[in-house]
Structure 1
Amino acid sequence: MMKTTIPSPFILSCLLFLILCGLSSAQLSANFYSKSCPNALSIIKSGVISAIQAETRMGASLLRLHFHDCFVNGCDGSILLDDTPTFTGEQTSKANNNSIRGLNVIDNIKAKLESCCPGVVSCADIVAVAARDSTVVLGGPSWNVLLGRRDSTTASKSAADNNLPAPTLNLNQLISSFSKHGFSARELVALSGGHTIGKARCTTFRARIYNDTNIDPLFASALQAICPQSGGDNNLTPMDPTPTTFDNCYFRDLLKQKGLFHSDQALYNGGSTDSIVETYTFNPFIFAKDFADAMLKMSNLGPLTGTRGQIRKNCGKVN
């Protein structure tokens, strides 16, 4: 009979220590760069402010960049990777092709961080902080971004195609899409409120303004003048009447059947999320809090930590 050897208390304590170290290395923290790069957050904030001062729309683009990064294999900076001979990245996916913006802003911030503290601050963390700072600059809520993400060494167009929700989705499809990432219907509605800033291309809302019936006719007519049935794919229109201010106008528009995307109006169309939209319409403070909480949760999706991934020197390519 094989003799069973029971580990000594010392060995057990060592194993427990190693397990705890592994767990702690997988955790993000608000003060991750306090010693290694104490000026990191101020450098990122300064870069975001400068970019928004140059073009106000950039705030919405940086917020969207973070969302599109995190919903594809976690918040790992994979959206920033350019295509290579060995993989086709996320930038040419259906949701990102000809619409992803802000890459140059992240690159500029990264260059300044590299000159200050080389090889320390990840591109994924820059994207996460820039999204928060953009929201604040445009009048929205703040949240305590946890740091310590590392950058992926690959990206996947197919993963982006399969994980980023399209503007044509109905409510059940939206709930299913967000549920896969651990979000409730309420968090879905809160995060959708990020559409209160920025602009959208004609190609993303054309089907709605010509085919949907749950749309204000005057609103549809005005948009048709901007977005013809053919051509003008890149013509822009604001996401809501105050596209440079983070507020709750987005939800007020939904009550008037003036949601720009089919997926926007799906949130208020006689379904289970109607009451949430009404809450955010009449209480912007609840929306602001729920949005900040949902963004914090989103920013913690599947980060690479510890020894996984790398700290890219150039956000567009692997070291």
Structure 2
Amino acid sequence: MAVPRNQEVIRQWKVLHALEASRHGVTIDSLSKDLDVTTRTIRRDLAALQEAGFPLYDERDDDGRAHWRLDGQVLGGLETGFTLAELCALYLSRNMLEAVAGTPFQRDLTLAFTRLEKMLSPRMRQFLDRLPHVLAAKAGPRSRGASSSPDLVAKLLEATLHYRIAHMKYHSASSGRTKEYTIHPYRLAFALGGLYLLAYVPEYKDVRTFAVDRVSSVSLDKATFTPTTKIPDDVFGNSLGVNTGPPSHVEIAFDKRVAPYIRARVWHPSQSLRDAADGGVVLTLDVCNDLALRSWILGWSPSARVLAPAALAADIRTDLMNATAQYQV
């Protein structure tokens, strides 16, 4: 029976990695045993990798056994600090970075990958380009509008790094109005396909979160500010979305139909699970009671029921009643 093409490509990637990881080379018998294939298959894999341009060679030991190696000097002069396998892995990660498409970082990443491609031979790239058919990534949600201009993001970075007071024109999605703000920029954060600015607003005496793609203009003062509020490294750590509010202790019961899916994921670092008598599971989280949480719970309806807090259960009940009303004839 013919071996699936995808399985062959992944096995050859494992052979390449094994050769680079070994200081003294690897025998065909050893590769055959580790990968659970015949020695004939390993010989074909080695020939395929050589044909793809990877610099493989063999040396014989005192007992006449051939040890296969990967020429470590193939990247000599590039001074990248990366091994060949690491460069190949970076090249393959292009499809994993589709999540940043449309962000201010897309152009720089495109240029970086263009430089990376030049470090690999055309035949190596041809070989590696077969792997995305095995490993795929789905991009998450991102802004539909034009990405923020590099100059605007550069100004926000300048203000954040050097504590520069800034003036910003911002369109609020909730109010539908455009307003000018004086802000003290604290942090830029990328989350859920969007770039966000956390800034102290003297007018409100509070730190607010702004979507950068809704910022139309920014100007910087020569004057600087002194941060008065500490921003945690994980700025949205209390939320399933991009909220910075305080956490609530949340308990949600899931029925046995969806319990295996709930158990299979880490939904939030604070989570804990306990089995229910009916075969379901109770998930406990310490997260913000925000739109992201309520939307996530509603996505599991009718298999989820909020046990605590009571205010969240009431919010979900209201949302379900309003949703039902949408379908009444």
Question: Which TM-score bucket, shorter chain as reference?
Answer: under 0.3
Which structure's CA Rg is the greater one?
2
Query: Normalising by structure 2, what TM-score?
Result: 0.24
More helix by share: 1
Query: Normalising by structure 1, what TM-score?
Result: 0.24
Larger RCO, structure (CA 8 Å, separation 6 or more)? 1
More strand by share: 2
